[in-house]
Amino acid sequence: MGFLDDQILVQQIQAGDEQALVALIRRYERSLAALIRDRIGSVQAVEDVLQETLLHVWLGLRDLEPRNVRAWLYQVARNRCSDYLRSTQRRERFVGAEELATMINRFCAPAARQRQAAQDVVEAFDHVPEKERAALRSFYLDGLSIAEIAARHRCPSGTIKRRLSHGRDLVRSELGVTTKRRSITMTAEIKTVKASFPDFRPEISIEKSAKPPFAIDLRELSWWFIVPEIGDQVRWADYEPTRDGSAWKLTEVKDMAATRRAIIHGRPCVEIEMEDQRCGDREGLLPFNHDPETRDRHTRVWGRLEETEVHWLAVESMKSDGTRELLTCLDEDFGWDFGMTPRLVEDRGYLTEQSDGTFVKKPDAPQLFSNGLYTVRIDDRTFECMRVFDIDADTSDRAVLIMAYVTRAGRTLLFRRYNGNLWGKREKPPHLQGVEMTWEDDLPHTDRLVIDGVKYVHHYDVLTDETCGIRA
């Protein structure tokens, strides 16, 4: 929703309208929960701190009318996190055996795996020749520098470097670890990606299936289609409609690979490299922030796969002036665009189709849910997928809707972005995006979806490499 809409809700809240408070909280609940979770690091305490935050919001808005409502909400949440972390009651709280076991399983498993990995490496030292073993132990276990090891063994530093290099290769071989680096091949491979996706979007047909729906374990970083686990790779392509509506043209290809382990704000995660390439001439297509002279370009992201959720932890972008920008989960607006999503996605009848083709969403529907099993045909390939929706709690013509088709394995095949009719538009000319007042005017030939009386306009599609049969 726009800034002006927040101010109107605050005025309604101050007039005693509790439903306005509910609408405001629903709008920001997900990003507030993500901020709280990342600051206090406790799954169990998030709900308590969130409730404290909402209570302070309710009391505060009786007297205050913040100029920037979203920033004020985040500051309230940060203050409640600080209160929680300072609380002696929290530090002295008794933890029962069952809760302790849950906490250990959830939070200590990564540390236990790291300890086991370190132990395996040290044990592998015993299987390399004596000189290499002595160099490895001195460097990695005793903390000596190469010069100190050379002095101890009375040999040139170059000799120690060679022993360390050879010893590492032997340890990798002992542990069955490959030395192939994805980053070396990313640039070369991207040249073949463009050729792998067709210049125009393949023919797509989607039919409702009579089979029962299934639950999805959606392990991907939300709508970037990669699982934050070392070795996972994905290629995906954007297709946007031509101005005359005659075709959907390939506009951009992205290649992502989870390459190495990392730690962001003390939390183990996975670093994901990204290469993107604009494809072809965009003349006649929508001028939607794709100008290479002004568009920011993402280069790396960091994510974490947890037991019940998938977390974004950081995103690195290259600004149009060459500046690198790193946003992390502790930055104020990070949860607005990234944050965390639940892994379990189910169809519990949250969305009902009416006789006129429009939809009604239940008030208790989560932001992310599935709705029906579908047979998706893309050219001559057929897939069985659940249809997944990502919708803001308060449906609005200034919001965005995501519709995706996800396999039983939890991989997204087809992603569709819909814009609320006024999303990104100003109330009066000149308009922020496009030429006309609404997206319906900008995109007269694309599909419309109406939910709770709000019209969403089909903007673009994303196909993944598996969809087109080109997965490496």
Task: Please report, for the chain, the start and end positions of each structural domain, with discontinuous segments joined by +.
Answer: 3-89, 106-175, 183-464
Q: Tens digit of pLDDT for each residue in 376-386?
A: 999 888 999 99
As a three-state string, the secondary structure of 356-379 is CCCEEECCCCCCEEEEEEEEEEEC
Please name the residues in contact with 322: beta carbons below 8 A apart, sequence gap of 6 or more.
none
Binning the chain into helix, strand and coil, the percentages to the nearest 5 are 35, 30, 35
For 349, left (φ over 0), alpha (ψ -120 to 50), or beta?
Answer: left
Q: Which residues of the chain have pLDDT under 70?
A: 1-4, 42-43, 87-120, 174-195, 280-296, 426-437, 468-472
Amino acid at 449: L
Q: What is the DSSP secondary-structure string of 315-343? A: EEEE-TTS-EEEEETTSTTHHHHS-EEES
Nearest CA to 442 out of 419, 415, 411, 409 is that of 419
The per-residue pLDDT for 229 is 93
For tokens 């893309």, name the residue.
Answer: 378
3-89: CATH number: 1.10.1740.10
Distance CA 392, CA 233 (A): 29
The per-residue pLDDT for 66 is 81
> Where are the extended beta strands (E) located within 120-247?
204-208, 216-217, 233-241
The per-residue pLDDT for 55 is 81
Q: Tens digit of pLDDT for each residue in 320-343?
A: 778 889 999 888 778 777 888 899
Query: CA-CA distances (angstroms) from residue 216 to 14, 111, 328, 332, 378?
Result: 42, 28, 28, 30, 21
Please name the residues in contact with 249: beta carbons below 8 A apart, sequence gap of 6 or more.
199, 200, 201, 239, 240, 241, 242, 280, 285
Distance CA 430, CA 424 (A): 12
Amino acid at 337: D
Distance CA 197, CA 466 (A): 11
Distance CA 301, CA 362 (A): 34
* Burial classification of residue 337, based on how many CB atoms lie within 10 Å of its CB (0-12 exposed, 13-18 middle, 19 or more buried): exposed
Query: CA-CA distances (angstroms) from residue 368 to 155, 269, 342, 389, 459?
Result: 62, 23, 8, 6, 20
Q: What is the dihedral of CA 123, 126, 129, 132, to 10 degrees?
A: 50
Distance CA 55, CA 47 (A): 12
Compute φ and ψ for 241, nearest 5 degrees: -75, 140
Distance CA 422, CA 106 (A): 42
The per-residue pLDDT for 92 is 46
Distance CA 237, CA 412 (A): 13
Distance CA 242, CA 248 (A): 6
The per-residue pLDDT for 90 is 46
Distance CA 440, CA 448 (A): 8
Distance CA 126, CA 133 (A): 7
Distance CA 329, CA 338 (A): 8
Same fold, 3-89 and 106-175: no
Fold of 106-175: Arc Repressor Mutant, subunit A (1.10.10)
